Structure 1
Amino acid sequence: MKTIRRQQVAGKAVAITGGARGIGLATARAARDRGARVVIGDLDPVAAEKAGADLGIAALPLDVTDRGSFAGFLDAAEDLVGPVDVLVNNAGIMPLGRVETVGDTEATRCIDVNLHGVMLGTKIALLRMIPRGHGQIINIASIAGVTPAPGMALYNASKAAVLAFTDATRLEVRDRGIQVGAMLPSFTNTELISGTRTPKGQRALEPDEVAAGVIAMIERPSPRRTVPRSLGVSMRLAALYPDRLTRALYHLLDVDTVFLDYDHSARAAYAARIHDGSAAAGE
């Protein structure tokens, strides 16, 4: 088996979408601390400017669903820090609710940001990286892409599609010097889970833990990486469970209700931002 040599983070030009909050902000901080030249983009220009000022890095406006905006973001990033070595597609949203009650606006927005944004960023980055013969794209997916749960159908669908897109793209470009992989974090303490509770037997990860996983993937590129790492084994085993056992475990751990019976008032501000299109922050 070919061993992938450890790569240095220091000196790399790293661009991160949805970088004003959550996992994106934590990843920007971690990459900066390792000596990378970091640029973040976010739909919320005020939050992006504050994050950039706090970290001492460049921060730019970015709508990941718009080709002109994404291309302009990468153009500006490369003017500031040089050719982008690593693109972290992190921007994402998570609408919750029963399938039949989630609004069409939320459904469309979820696919536009979580999937189309990743596809668009990947395509634009590849047009720059392939001629150079090197580069890396890390797509922030989720264990939700392989472990569906009631109340998360839209988010599950978007992340499952991100995984399929990432896998196929990796196979297509791996012989052209480009590394493409997916990060699969578990339940993470960001704005996306506001108003919900943690399933039994789990704890919410902190964004810094996921950021550490992203840094590890930059150092040692891999097709997929789960956070925590131990989750990868249990996920593979769970795929073999019969439906009856899966349903029983979901009930035991409250997974069958945790994303349906949530605090609507605590989540109201975030839900409103999804609806009006101002939520495309970091995972």
Structure 2
Amino acid sequence: MGTTSLQGRRIVITGAGRGIGLATAKELHTRGATVIIGDVDERSALAAAKSIGSNAEGYAVDVSGYDSFAAFHQKATANGIIDVLINNAGIMPIGRFLDQSADTHRRAVQINVLGAINGMHLTLPAMVARGSGHIINVASTAGKTPVPGGLTYCGTKSAVIAITETARVEYKGSGIDFTCVMPSFTNTELIAGTTATKLIPVVEPEDVARAIADAIERPKPDVFVPRIVGPLLWPQPLLGRRIRDLFNHSLGADRSFLDFDPKARSGYDKRIGK
């Protein structure tokens, strides 16, 4: 498979006011792309675009609302087509299922799952019409294995993985690439107050950003960050629940989202409305 140049490509990234999204916008810009940054916090989106400089735009978008995403999409396409859509926006409320409000669970589903669906529904028609394009959905390794304390989060990321894979099959031969990116613990505010699993290193947003940029240049369906988590996760369905649960326990994955510091997460929880 050949290499796709990012020079002059117009790439939309949601949730790019900070964290993985912002790091990805910066990485893609250094490789020659024009980046269109969307974030629910308009000030963050504008500041991110300003920090990047030329060939960067920033707009407000609430990905959970179709009308809001449609308005953002209209602005993003005002100066050209969208070559790549990166559905990155998401929230990670953690804690015991019944300790979290029904509204918190609902918001996680609306942002993490409907956000990706809204973006795809608005962006795919033009890609299908011209026979080219790339959709990248940012999920999580938590979508591949059960993590107590992350019941809804794991569920939403599993949904994103399934959505991406099903779209890949449904649109096979259309000229459109679909990629699912599955980072492990990433050093952003999402993991504040948590303890990382053993053996698997915490990665930086820039690591995920480089992996995303590489996947655009050389399209592939699945991207794990760090790469080591892929071989650790692939065999799990074949091992059976008992062995899988013992393995996850040995890594400490069964306590990562339960034994957290609420005070350390208070700032993030407040921002996401938990």
- TM-score calculated relative to the size of structure 2: 0.95
1:7 aligned residue: 4
Contact 2:201 2:226 survives alignment (8 Å)? no
2:46 aligned residue: 49
Contact 1:105 1:275 survives alignment (8 Å)? no
**Residues in 1 aligned to 2:250 and 2:166: alpha-carbon distance in whole angstroms:** 35
Q: Aligned-pair distance for 1:70? A: 1.1
Aligned with residue 200 of structure 2, among 199, 202, 220: 202
**Secondary structure, counterpart of 1:65 in structure 2:** coil
Aligned with residue 214 of structure 2, among 213, 216, 223: 216
1:266 aligned residue: 264
Deviations 1:120-152 (A, max 9, x none): 101110122111211110000111111111111
4+ residue runs over 6 A deviation: none
**Residues in 1 aligned to 2:116 and 2:105: alpha-carbon distance in whole angstroms:** 16
2:115 aligned residue: 117
Q: Aligned-pair distance for 1:249? A: 2.4
**Residues in 2 aligned to 1:173 and 1:117: alpha-carbon distance in whole angstroms:** 20
2:171 aligned residue: 173
Provide structure 2 residue ranges, at least 5 long, that are not aligned to the other structure. Answer: none
**Residues in 2 aligned to 1:110 and 1:226: alpha-carbon distance in whole angstroms:** 22
**Residues in 1 aligned to 2:159 and 2:240: alpha-carbon distance in whole angstroms:** 23
1:66 aligned residue: 65
Deviations 1:154-201 (A, max 9, x none): 110000011111111111112222111211111111111111121222
Amino acid at match of 2:61: L
Amino acid at match of 1:101: D
2:184 aligned residue: 186
Q: For this pair of structures, how many residues does the alignment match?
A: 272
**Residues in 2 aligned to 1:84 and 1:70: alpha-carbon distance in whole angstroms:** 14
Pick 1 or 2: higher relative contact order, CA cutoff 8 A, min separation 6.
Answer: 1
Provide structure 1 residue ranges, at least 5 long, that are not aligned to the other structure. Answer: 277-283
The 5 A counterparts of 1:8-27 are 8-27=5-24
Aligned identity (percent) is: 41
- TM-score calculated relative to the size of structure 1: 0.93
Deviations 1:234-281 (A, max 9, x none): 2112232233322322222221212101000111121122226xxxxx
**Residues in 2 aligned to 1:169 and 1:194: alpha-carbon distance in whole angstroms:** 33
2:226 aligned residue: 228
Amino acid at match of 1:79: A
